[in-house]
Structure 1
Amino acid sequence: MSPTVRTVLGDVEPAALGVCDAHDHLFLRSPVLAGQELDDPVAALTELTAFAALGGAAVVQWTPWGMGGRHDELPGLSRRSKVHVVAATGMHQAKHYDPEDLRKRYDRLAETFVHELTAAPVRAGLIKIAGSFHHLDEHARQVAAAAARAHHATGAPIGVHLEGGTAALDVLDLLCGTHAVAPGSLILGHLHRFPDPRVHVAVARAGAYVAFDGPSRAHHQTDWRLLDSIAALVDAGHQDRILLGGDTVTAAARSTADGPGMPFLLSGLRPRIEREIGGEVATAVLVTNPARAFAADWR
């Protein structure tokens, strides 16, 4: 069988994915973001529809297990908006969960991930995990081990939240070295927050995908480096490893509120990439690369 992308409406050929927001959220909740939940299906549909009106065809929701991803809502939103939606399983940093609940679940994480990827009513197509700032704590290592086991059992790609864009090479060492995950199955997120072109090139040279999940929030202040970071990877011969996402994590960040939201990828960033780096690069980043990055030989 050839690789396919697992969407909430079933598996599709990679070429059918189209213009893709490679990292975003339609629903999300966390005690860290109390009062800022993404929990409104109407607002989610409005955001998807606005994205589709600009040519958007697919959104990958990186909301992992236990953070209110509302998988039951996603098929209807996908049908109504005519946008492919890929859901995630996995687990974020420990601060997003109840500590006692975590201790009870560590031994069953891989089983949970595999179930959500292969047997849940609405199946996930991505395993999302997270590192810590400039290191990998014990929680991250346990979740990474479970994600690797689930990857080997299913073929699912793994997306990694890099805190502040850091510890990318540590993640590669752990997942590719210790746990034998093929680099081409890894998507390392938030690297625009750590705009070191040497690290970006090292990740791409290893064969993993470099995800620039912008626009930045105000406290990151790295938007002005984004195109330089993309250009540096292109100049190094790695335009085939770049992904772009919006990472909308609060209701205020949506285009229906005061934020740029999902549409900004296509209304703001795509024209700049086309104008300043080239249309071929824009197509690679938004269409060709996601079709490979999120495809798997499902088992």
Structure 2
Amino acid sequence: MSRVRTVLGDIPPEQLGVCDAHDHLFLRSPQLPGQELEDLSAARAELAAFRAAGGAAVVQWTPYGMGRRAADLPELSRATGVRLVCATGLHQAAHYDTQLLDRLRGGGLAELFVSELTEGIATTGVRAGFIKVAGGFHALDAHTRRTMTAAAEAHHATGSTIAVHLELGTGALDVLDLLCGELGVPGDRVILGHLNRHPDPVVQRQAAASGCWLAFDGPSRAHNATDWRMPEAVRALAEAGFADRLLLGGDTVVAGARSVDGGLGMPYLLRRVRHRLAAAVGADLVDRILTEHPGRAFAVDWR
């Protein structure tokens, strides 16, 4: 039976509730100096604000080695009543120091992902609920191919979903060719993040036709067409028959983007984006995107 693996244990997908399907409570990267998400009290306040806006679950896409603070997630979930799903996986090489990358290049990357999914993240007891990897700008470099190959191996061992950061929304079809074509991952086990940042309707339809999930994420910060063109893109995909392949997320990646630090943050997804999309495609579909779809996308028959 399929279950969503939260930091407090596995639950039936229908219990996930209103879900921000792509966001971050904690994140650290040399690409974002001085903008780290590291404040525990701010994370708690942000989750409380999301809960007050009607939210029930957040999927944190922060992968291995980027300050995801897995040990703090269970207590945050208990304190706020928000269900949390934690990632394993690896981001682009630019987000890591060379020593860590050299160690990971020594092998065992797939084994690391499987271990964090099944046995738990070292010293925390928290099991990851999915794998996060990343493509490059219009290309798949050697690091991307290595991490995606490891992610596919971990998928085949566990059934886990693979969520992909698309750099500025590009490279979607190359990612699908690799993951679903060469590496044999079923389309419905792949989530493409940030596809709305490169709003090519032809690519979006082609990607959706693979059976993958399209995550419209990033409204918490101004970035290309993430906000103002989102309703028309969602409507076009729904009219093309892909209404059941859509997810929504906030992708709060820097401290200033949190609502409690003066940004839009997680509540914006429910306070503004939800209603704007409802005007374009109807409240019923938006409710399914926020509740039913994340449960289906992240639920796994764990092996």
TM-score in same-fold range (> 0.5): yes
**Structure 1 residue runs of 4 or more that deviate by more than 2 Å after TM superposition:** 216-222
SS at match of 1:45: helix
Equivalent of 2:275 in 252, 271, 275: 271
CA contact (8 A) 2:199 2:225 kept: no
Q: Which runs of 5+ in 1 are unaligned?
A: none
Q: Relative to structure 2, which stretch is displaced further, 99-108 or 62-71?
A: 99-108
2:13 is aligned to 14
CA contact (8 A) 1:216 1:222 kept: no
Equivalent of 1:252 in 251, 256, 272: 256
SS at match of 1:159: strand
SS at match of 2:241: coil
Kindly tell me: are residues 175 and 116 of structure 1, through their superposed partners in 2, closer, same or farther at Cα, counting changes over 3 Å?
Answer: same
The alpha-carbon deviation at position 216 of structure 1 amounts to 5.9
Kindly tell me: are residues 51 and 216 of structure 1, through their superposed partners in 2, closer, same or farther at Cα, counting changes over 3 Å?
Answer: closer
SS at match of 1:181: coil
TM-score, normalization by structure 2: 0.96
CA contact (8 A) 1:210 1:243 kept: yes
SS at match of 2:25: coil
SS at match of 1:188: strand
Q: Within 5 Å, which residues of 2 pair with 1:1-299?
A: 2-106=1-105, 107-120=107-120, 121-215=125-219, 217-299=221-303
The alpha-carbon deviation at position 45 of structure 1 amounts to 0.8
The alpha-carbon deviation at position 98 of structure 1 amounts to 1.3
The alpha-carbon deviation at position 208 of structure 1 amounts to 0.1
SS at match of 1:129: strand
CA contact (8 A) 1:273 1:281 kept: no
Q: Relative to structure 2, which stretch is displaced further, 86-95 or 50-59?
A: 50-59
Q: Which runs of 5+ in 2 are unaligned?
A: none
The alpha-carbon deviation at position 221 of structure 1 amounts to 4.3
Kindly tell me: are residues 200 and 216 of structure 1, through their superposed partners in 2, closer, same or farther at Cα, counting changes over 3 Å?
Answer: farther
The alpha-carbon deviation at position 222 of structure 1 amounts to 3.6
Q: Percent identity?
A: 59
One-letter code of the match for 1:88? A
Q: CA RMSD in A?
A: 1.0
The alpha-carbon deviation at position 272 of structure 1 amounts to 1.2
CA contact (8 A) 2:220 2:266 kept: no
Q: Following the alignment from structure 1 to structure 2, what is the Cα–Cα distance between the partners of residues 103 and 140?
A: 15
**Could you give the per-residue CA deviations for residues 112-169 of structure 1, whole angstroms, max 9, x where no partner exists?**
1111111111010010000000010000000000000111111110000000100000
The alpha-carbon deviation at position 258 of structure 1 amounts to 2.0
The alpha-carbon deviation at position 219 of structure 1 amounts to 4.4
CA contact (8 A) 1:239 1:284 kept: no
Q: Following the alignment from structure 1 to structure 2, what is the Cα–Cα distance between the partners of residues 228 and 67?
A: 34
CA contact (8 A) 2:220 2:269 kept: no
Q: Following the alignment from structure 1 to structure 2, what is the Cα–Cα distance between the partners of residues 281 and 218?
A: 25
CA contact (8 A) 2:220 2:264 kept: no
SS at match of 1:21: strand
TM-score, normalization by structure 1: 0.98
